[in-house]
Structure formats: structure tokens, C-alpha cells
Amino acid sequence: MNRIEIAKLVLCAALVLAPAPAAAQVNASQRLPTFENGLRRAIVARNAPAERFAISDRMARWRVPGLSVAIIDNCEVVDARGFGVTRVNGAFVQADTLFQAASISKPVAALGALRLVEQGDLSLDADVRTQLRGWALPDSPLLVGHPVTLRGILSHSAGLGPRGYGGYEIGAQLPTLRQTLDGAPPARPKPVLVEYTPGSDWRYSGGGYLVAQLLMTETTGRAFPGLMHDLVLAPIGMNNSSFEQPRAGAMVAFGHNANGEMIPGGWHLYPELAAAGLWSTAPDLAAFAAAVMRASQSGGIVEAHIATEMLEAEIGPRSMGFVVGGEGRARHFGHDGTNEGYNAMLIAYPETCQGAALMANSDNAKPLMSEILRAIADAYHWPDPMLSAEQEGVAITPDIVTRYMGQYQFADIPDVAPFRIVGSVADGLTFDRGDGFSEPLLASPQGLFAPDSGVLFTTPDPSAQRAQQITYLRLGASSGADAERVSPP
């Protein structure tokens, strides 16, 4: 994955003409807050009237075919339902519809590894090179005095790459775990290597989690899917989840790419199980987060001190398994997931034992999921209100049009296609991402902003007649990506 996540946002609008009837609530006897008509945009114009939207309308706007939502309150999964469809002319999404969890596989795998640590089978702080038997991490001078440990692997600070994996089409020859670690055919040439001094920093590492997977399977002598079933999935009650492919007849949401096409065969295969191979449901992922929160309070799936470590940062925003942030009652943990054709989000607040899990069968879903989380935060009075950002709107003038219109290429991520800013004073400006998706832009004294996706565009010289460089910044990101003009409009 690239350093800056450029969301893919195009699907056939006909997929979401009507949402599915809500699935049965987890606790039907309880009168639950409603959130499905309270979605908010990422950015609102200052002093503008408040707007709220229905999930069905925003699914149509984002062209997302189907999604599933589960809500945690008081450390219990209190609401779970589906919206939309599994594919064109497919079944309605239900609470138990399966999606690829993508990188949310990592915290689930981390919990399994920590259970083995608790049982005395693995060590958090020993050099993994002394424990691995069937594969050796390539030597590096960066390892002198800085061992690769399981703690570092689980917190993405072990110095290992690569970042992630792209999956394989159904029917393709799949690599073994060791072939993937070596980057040997039929695996793609992305071997696991030491890229920086272990413990000095954190960098997202799917490759590191494969080393953890190998360590777990070699230590126990068991295949990873069965091992994870017994360590995590079954004890928590994640009865619809598995690190194996869905069984025949299972209700599966088929993945869709940004061009509105279903993934060939329905989905890609991810043999990199600990990094990206989990199939799950929104209520199962919510149950997982709730189990970790309960364990941090009084023990459970793991002892309280281990669960507490999972919720505390090791380095930067990374704990052993999760992304953590916030302070006081708003302290939170979670993880996102993106596989080809799928997106997932998991967030939880341990101080109030609240949270939510969302899964969708679309590359376009992350902005929609953020809108839904804002609505849930309102309805359930989360400690983080997830306020929409405010921007002062100004009229789009001929000078603004001339300054920003054009085609731009990201300077340090050339594998991402160029994007364009097009339009006129009469028609307004539009962000055209280059893959068929476009989004209206509004102007502010600082530059341009996209109220739906939460993207800001600024230029180092706001008085320039024609901007030669602009910065693309997504709300909540610590830094943006610079893009350079490569052609006029």
C-alpha cells in the first residue's frame, strides 16, 4: 500500500438503488438509538445549516453495493444489521454476511500470538532468529545489538518490510508461506527483509506478521487456520469467522473494484493469512473488540495485563495489534482493513466500553464508513464526538480556477495515477481522481476542500497565478502528499 491512501470511490450506482431490510438486532428487546439517518459529511461550511443523510442515500452517493454494521455498547454487541446487496442482483446483506477483514486480520493474529505468550510457548522479547527453524531472516548489519522480537513485529517496529500484499486471482498458483517470505515464485518478489533498525521507528509491516505466523505454526506444529480457531475465534464466539476460504453455501459479499466491476471470481485470495486472510462479519469483529476490552478490565480471553498492553502504545500510535489514540474517556483502539474490493473499520473506546465494526464489499467505502461512524458517535454519545471539520467557504473566482485547474502527479508515489482538477466559475471545480471517480470541490481562503471525502488541497504560494505544486491532505492525517503540475487543464 502507498504512504498516502488514495481512496477508490467508483462503483455502478445501480447496485444501491435500495438498501436491504435491516437484519435482526442482536438484542431485539432493547430500544436502541437510531443512527441510519444521521450521517454527517467530513467537512461542513462554517455557519451553514446542519445536514444529516440516510445510509441509503450515501450508499448511492458513494456507489457502495453493500455493508454490514455492528455496534458495541456496555461491552456487548447490541445492534448488528446489513444494508445493500452482496453483488448486482444478489442477496441482501445480512448481519452474518461474510466479508474479507483484510488488515484487521493483524490484531486478531496478534491476540493469538499473545495467547501463546501467556501459555509460555512464545517469548515477546527474545530474538525471533533463535526461535525460527524452517526459515532464516536474512542477516543485516542493522540487527547488530537490535534483535527482531515478537513485540516489535506485533507493533510494526521490528524493522521489517514489505508493507503489504496484493492478493491473487482465484485459480492462480498460490505460494507457500516460505515462498512469500523469500519473495520466490509463485510469490511476488517482495521478500521479508530488514529495512531499518529494529525498535528505532515504526513502519506498517504485513511481512512482519508473516514472520509471526511462521513462529506460531512452527512452535505449535499446527496449521494457522485451525490454530487461530482454537486460540481466538472459538473462545470469543466468532462463529462465522475463519482464516480459510468460505465454505460452500456461505453468504458472501463479493468484492467490487473502483470501476464498478466485480472482482473476477468474486474476490482475491490472500495466502498471507496473519496479514490479510481473515473472513469475518461485522458482529464477529465487534465481539472481538468487546472481548479485548472486557479482558483489559478483569481478564478473559487473555490476562488483564496482556489485554492492557494491547491497548497501550508501544511506539508512535501502534500497540501490539492495534492503532491507539485519544486521551481520557476518548482513548480508543482499532484497525482498518483494505483488500481488493473490500474495506473494513473497527474502533472501540475502552473507558466506556463502546465501539463499532463496519465491513463493505467496495473499494469506495471508507468515506461512507467514516460518515456512519460519525452518526453512531452522535446516537450513542461516544466520548469522541467525531465532529465534522469546519472550513470557511468563499466564492470560486476566475483566479482560483486558473490557479488550481490542471493535472498533477504525486511527487514521491509515482505508481499512483495522476489526478486532475477541472471546471469553471459557472460549473464549479471538480476533483477527478483518474479512475472514473470525481467529486465537487469548494474554495476556502487556504485553498480547496472536498466536503464529502475530507480532502484538502493547498499550494505553497496561494497568490500564484498557476500553482506548480499542491499538497493533498486528508483530514486526520499528520502529513500530506505533494503533487506537481504535469500539464495544463
Q: Kindly give the residue spans of alpha helices, DSSP state H, lying in 51-93.
A: 55-62
Residue 215 and residue 381: Cα distance in Å, rounded? 42
CB 113 within 8 A of CB 224: no
Set out the domains of the chain in order of their start, with CATH numbers: 100-380 (3.40.710.10), 392-487 (2.40.128)
Share of the chain above pLDDT 90, in %: 82
30 pLDDT tier (thresholds 50, 70, 90): low
Is the pLDDT at 28 greater than 80? The verdict is no
Average pLDDT over residues 271-288: 98
What pLDDT, on a 0 to 100 scale, did the predictor assign at position 216?
98
Is the pLDDT at 394 greater than 60? The verdict is yes
**Predicted confidence (pLDDT) per residue in 304-329, tens digit:** 999 999 999 999 999 999 999 999 99
Nearest 5°: the CA angle 318, 114, 289 is 65
CA atoms within 13 Å, Cβ hemisphere of 247: 4
Residue 161 and residue 196: Cα distance in Å, rounded? 9
Average pLDDT over residues 422-442: 88
Residues near 422 by beta carbon (within 8 Å), at least 6 away in sequence:
405, 429, 430, 432, 489
What cell does 400 get? 482560483
Is the pLDDT at 41 greater than 90? The verdict is yes
Helix axes 105-118, 206-220, angle to 10 degrees: 40
**Predicted confidence (pLDDT) per residue in 131-185, tens digit:** 999 899 999 999 999 999 999 999 999 999 999 999 999 999 999 999 999 999 9
Average pLDDT over residues 229-258: 95
How many CB atoms are located within 10 Å of the residue 137 CB?
19
Is the pLDDT at 336 greater than 90? The verdict is yes
Average pLDDT over residues 214-219: 98
Q: Which residue has the cell 466491476?
A: 261
CB 42 within 8 A of CB 475: yes
Strand pairing report for 66-73 and 76-84: antiparallel
What pLDDT, on a 0 to 100 scale, did the predictor assign at position 10?
29
**Predicted confidence (pLDDT) per residue in 45-90, tens digit:** 887 788 999 999 999 888 899 999 999 999 999 999 999 999 989 9
Sign of the dihedral defined by the CA atoms of residues 207, 208, 214, 216, in that order: negative
Average pLDDT over residues 35-46: 94
Is the pLDDT at 476 greater than 90? The verdict is no
Task: Name the pTM for this structure.
Answer: 0.90
Residues near 308 by beta carbon (within 8 Å), at least 6 away in sequence:
296
Is the pLDDT at 364 greater than 90? The verdict is no
Picking from 315, 112, 106, the residue whose alpha carbon sits closest to that of residue 196 is 315
How many CB atoms are located within 10 Å of the residue 259 CB?
13
The mean pLDDT of the chain is 91
Picking from 370, 235, 361, 343, the residue whose alpha carbon sits closest to that of residue 290 is 235
End-to-end CA distance of the chain: 29
Alpha carbon of 12 to those of 65, 339, 437: distances in Å? 8, 19, 11
221 pLDDT tier (thresholds 50, 70, 90): very high
Using CB atoms within 10 Å of the CB of residue 120, give its burial: 0 to 12 exposed, 13 to 18 middle, 19+ buried: exposed
Average pLDDT over residues 255-270: 90
Residue 399 and residue 397: Cα distance in Å, rounded? 5
What pLDDT, on a 0 to 100 scale, did the predictor assign at position 488?
65
Residue 173 and residue 188: Cα distance in Å, rounded? 11
